[in-house]
Amino acid sequence: MYINLLGFLIVLLLQIVSFSTSATIKHGLRDAQDRHMIPRGFVANTNDHAGAVDFQPQDYLRMSRMGANVQVIRLEMGRLSRFGNGSFEPAYMERLKRGTKLAREAGIKTVFKLTVYGTGGFSWEALWRNKNNEQEIYIDAWRHVWEAFKDDEYVIGYDLVNEPRKLEMDISYDDLTNKYLLPFYEKIIDAALPYSDQKKFLIQTVFMNKGDAINRNQYHEIKQKINRKNIVFAPHIYQENIDYIGPTMQRFDKEADMLEAPILVGEWGFPTFVTTDGSVKEQLNYIEFYIKTAEIFDEMGIGAIKAWFLGNRSYQNFLPGGESTWAIFSDKQAVGTVERKYITDIIARPYPQLIAGDIQSFMFHFATRTLDLNIRTDNKRGASKIFIAADRHYPDGFSVHVGDDLILSKSPLALGFTVHHSSSNTDVSNFIWDESKQQLVVLAWPKDNAEINVKVSPGIFEFEDPKAKNN
């Protein structure tokens, strides 16, 4: 009896392990063709502390060459709403339309995030209490955006309330969340659905007051479900302490399960101090906790948006370490060009952007510069795209192994791929290198409806002839 029970448990354990290794990751999004998409990109500000910011076509190409397939445009409520003496500015909407158009032409989708910046007469407590129709004024600001982009398939969603606050309200974080924030989310979503029922609705948690935190993270926990569809959980994580990154992401994962929503980290990356650009020691510290954060994102299969795709013409001063910024470029202009490479090389790491089928797992191993990807293929869904970042991660060239079917290599001195091995069922013309976007484009996988491993590694593959080895 004991032996039979032990045997049963061993078989059951093997089945569980087998299932867990082949299961589709629960995060990421799906596009119109039901391809599995890992959203990654940048917050694209329309202003900074010194004034307006407008990007050019070459800036969006730079974004795509850094792995971006999504931008999050940070909206200024002061240009969209009637709070205080504000009013809707048509010229501002034209800037938004231009930004989404340039992004689309670079293959980048757009999410809009509504902030309360530039808004006179706005109060968080007044918004929650809603005594003077403040919530309807807030929703009216969104209506301008919903109407303008209702038919734009490259606008995939809306981050509805950015970093909602409690501030001086005499209320617990749980009560604020359950009695005010979650019903407000449902109210906003109901108002948005007549414009489009295909967009995604990104939600955040309450941003806790200074001195309040959970595991040194200032975002309160959501404990009740939002009874609406197309929800995406979009928490922020600005964590420089390695010991707290994992527990915070595990907490977010638990909340996502409760919400029945995938996670898209809406903002991440601890800000950079003014001293860091001139200190190797500080840069090495940043590299360590940025890599740890990135590895956890990849392990969980989570997409993430990095703040900010900006130059450094202004700093903020709210941290004990002095002046700091989220800008990823160090030059003193709105649209920067001088990368903080101790940050950008980690952001722009290889990953599966879009897979015809299901992504089961992926990880970029920084130490070996190897991307390990497991997928289940479904060729009827269209082409797949894997961001390689050859210009920064593989200056020595790279090789691609697709299961047992195909081995390719790409030399930095050659225009296309060299084929080292292909099986009889493989059409090598289905594998295309897009130099401008640093992507491997796969028109069709060698095996359809099959589980395969894709590995990208540094250097040019060297084929070993067994006969030569024996001689």
Contacts of 253 (CB under 8 A, 6+ apart): 263, 300
Note whether residue 372 is domain-resident: yes
Spacing of C-alpha 149 from chain mean position? 21
Is residue 340 domain-shared with residue 394, that is, in the same domain?
Answer: no
Distance between terminal CA atoms of the chain?
56
Note whether residue 65 is domain-resident: yes
For residue 382, how many C-alpha atoms fall within 13 Å in the half-sphere facing its CB? Answer: 11
Record the pTM: 0.92
Is residue 195 domain-shared with residue 236, that is, in the same domain?
Answer: yes
Is residue 316 domain-shared with residue 397, that is, in the same domain?
Answer: no
What sign does the CA torsion over 26, 457, 346, 313 have? negative
Note whether residue 304 is domain-resident: yes
Binned average pLDDT, 10 residues per bin, the chain of 471 residues: 41 38 87 97 93 96 98 96 92 98 98 92 95 97 98 98 96 97 98 97 96 93 96 96 96 97 97 95 97 98 97 90 94 95 98 98 98 98 98 97 97 93 96 97 98 97 54 43
Spacing of C-alpha 437 from chain mean position? 17
Is residue 341 domain-shared with residue 398, that is, in the same domain?
Answer: no
Is residue 165 domain-shared with residue 201, that is, in the same domain?
Answer: yes
Note whether residue 20 is domain-resident: no
pLDDT for 471: 43
Is residue 185 domain-shared with residue 301, that is, in the same domain?
Answer: yes
Among 313, 348, 383, identify where a domain stops: 348
Is residue 332 domain-shared with residue 361, that is, in the same domain?
Answer: no
Residues 268 and 252: their CA atoms lie apart, in Å, by 13
43 backbone dihedrals φ, ψ, rounded to 5° = -75, 125
Is residue 103 domain-shared with residue 163, that is, in the same domain?
Answer: yes
Among 318, 348, 378, identify where a domain stops: 348
Question: Which neighbouring-strand residues pair with 30?
Answer: 36
Note whether residue 4 is domain-resident: no
Is residue 251 domain-shared with residue 393, that is, in the same domain?
Answer: no
Note whether residue 150 is domain-resident: yes
Residue 52: which domain range? 29-348
- CA dihedral of 284, 285, 287, 288, whole degrees rounded to 10: 120
CA distances to 96, 402, 464 from 468, rounded to whole Å, are 62, 25, 8
Give the DSSP letter string of 192-208: HTTT-SSSEEEE---BP
- Give the Cβ contact number of residue 465 at 10 Å: 8
Please choose, from the candidates 269, 273, 271, 253, the residue with its C-alpha nearest in 3D space to the C-alpha of residue 261: 253
Is residue 33 domain-shared with residue 68, that is, in the same domain?
Answer: yes
Is residue 388 domain-shared with residue 334, that is, in the same domain?
Answer: no
- CA dihedral of 168, 186, 303, 338, whole degrees rounded to 10: -50
pLDDT for 86: 87
Apex 466 CA angle, 460 and 470, nearest 5: 125
Bond prior to 308 in cis (omega within 30° of 0) = yes
**What CATH code is carried by the domain that includes residue 322?**
3.20.20.80
Tokens of residue 397, six digits: 């060239």
Note whether residue 21 is domain-resident: no
pLDDT for 259: 97
Among 348, 380, 404, identify where a domain stops: 348
Provide the number of structural domains found in the chain: 2
Is residue 383 domain-shared with residue 339, that is, in the same domain?
Answer: no
pLDDT for 19: 35
**What CATH code is carried by the domain that includes residue 425?**
2.60.40
457 backbone dihedrals φ, ψ, rounded to 5° = -135, 160
